[in-house]
Structure 1
C-alpha cells in the first residue's frame, strides 16, 4: 500500500466517522487538516480541536489488497473466525496505545478503527469488545467503524471506550 493510498483510506474513514459521530453526539465536527501524529485534527463551531488517529482492521493482509483491487487470489471462500479478528483488534489497540503515548499532542485524541472485514458486521463485535484491554489515559474515545448491515437498528459504529 502506498502512502497516498493509506492517506486516502484515512480520509475516507474520517469522513464516515464524522458523519456518524456528529449524528450520535449532536455535534458539528469537521476535518480541520490531515497531518502526522495524530493523523488528523477535527474542530467544531466552538473551536474545540481533537486529534484523530486512524487505523484499519484486517482479518489478514490480503484484505488490504482486496480493498485496493489488487487481490489475485480468491480468499473469500476461506473460513474466518471472529476470535481471530478480535485478537487482531487487541493487537492493534496495544500497538496504537503504545504509539499514542509517545505523541507530543496536548489535546484529547480519538482512535478510529475501521474494520475492513467483508464477513463481520457490528452485531458480531458488539458483545466481544467489552473484553478488550484498554489503557484509558491515551485516547479519550475509541470507535470501531464496521461494515453497514442491511438490518436496521444494528450499529455502523461502536464505541469501545
Structure 2
C-alpha cells in the first residue's frame, strides 16, 4: 500500500470511528466494525449479526480549501452563493457514489457516509439549504452527513430524514 492509500485508509478509519460513536449513542441497535475493505469501505455488523456496508467519502469545498485546511489558515465565512455551490458539491457526491454503487458488494445493504471536513461550512449551513439537497435515490439504505458546526463536536444526520425534497 502506498502512502496516499495509507492516508486515505486512515481518514476513512477516523470517519468510521466518529460515525460509529455518534450512531450508537443515537440508535437502539448498535453497530460495530468488522473490517475495512473496498467497495464498500467498511463492513459493519449490528447486534443481531446482520451485515451492512459503509461507503465513506470526504468532502472539501474545493482543492483550494483542501490546501488551506492542510495549512490551517484562518478563513472567513462565505456568502449564500458560495454555500449554494457547496450544496451542489454534496449533491454531486451523492449522485456519483450512487452511480458507483453497482460495483459494490450486494451481499448486504450499504450506507453512505459523507464526512464534511470543510472549514468554511458547518452542519447549520447545510441544514439552512436543505431544500436544495438532492433526495438520495435509495440505492444506499441511509445517507449520513457527518459534520462539525464550528465547534470541536461532530454532528450526524441522515439525509433521508432531513426533508426538503431537494432536486430529483
**1:116 matched to which residue of 2?**
117
**Unmatched tracts of structure 2, length 5 or more:** 161-168
Per the TM alignment, residue 103 of structure 1 is displaced from its structure 2 partner at its CA by 2.0
Which 4+ stretches in 1 moved above 6 angstroms? Answer: none
**2:47 matched to which residue of 1?**
45
Local SS of the residue matching 1:101: helix
**1:128 matched to which residue of 2?**
129
Residues 81-160 of structure 1: pairs in structure 2 closer than 5 A: 81-150=82-151, 156-160=155-159
**Unmatched tracts of structure 1, length 5 or more:** none
Equivalent in 10, 13, 16 of residue 11 of structure 1: 13
RMSD of aligned C-alpha atoms?
A: 2.6
Cα pair distance change 1:44/1:78, threshold 3 Å: closer
- TM-score normalised per structure 2: 0.80
Residues 29-68 of structure 1: pairs in structure 2 closer than 5 A: 29-67=31-69
Per the TM alignment, residue 127 of structure 1 is displaced from its structure 2 partner at its CA by 3.7
Per-residue CA deviation, residues 2-24 of structure 1 (Å, 9 max, x unaligned), is: 11111100000011111111111
Per the TM alignment, residue 57 of structure 1 is displaced from its structure 2 partner at its CA by 1.0
Cα pair distance change 1:66/1:31, threshold 3 Å: farther
1:144–1:160 Cα contact (<8 Å) kept: yes
Q: Whole-Å Cα distance in 1 between the matches of residues 78 and 123 of structure 2?
A: 19
- TM-score normalised per structure 1: 0.84
Q: Whole-Å Cα distance in 1 between the matches of residues 118 and 39 of structure 2?
A: 26
Per the TM alignment, residue 63 of structure 1 is displaced from its structure 2 partner at its CA by 3.5
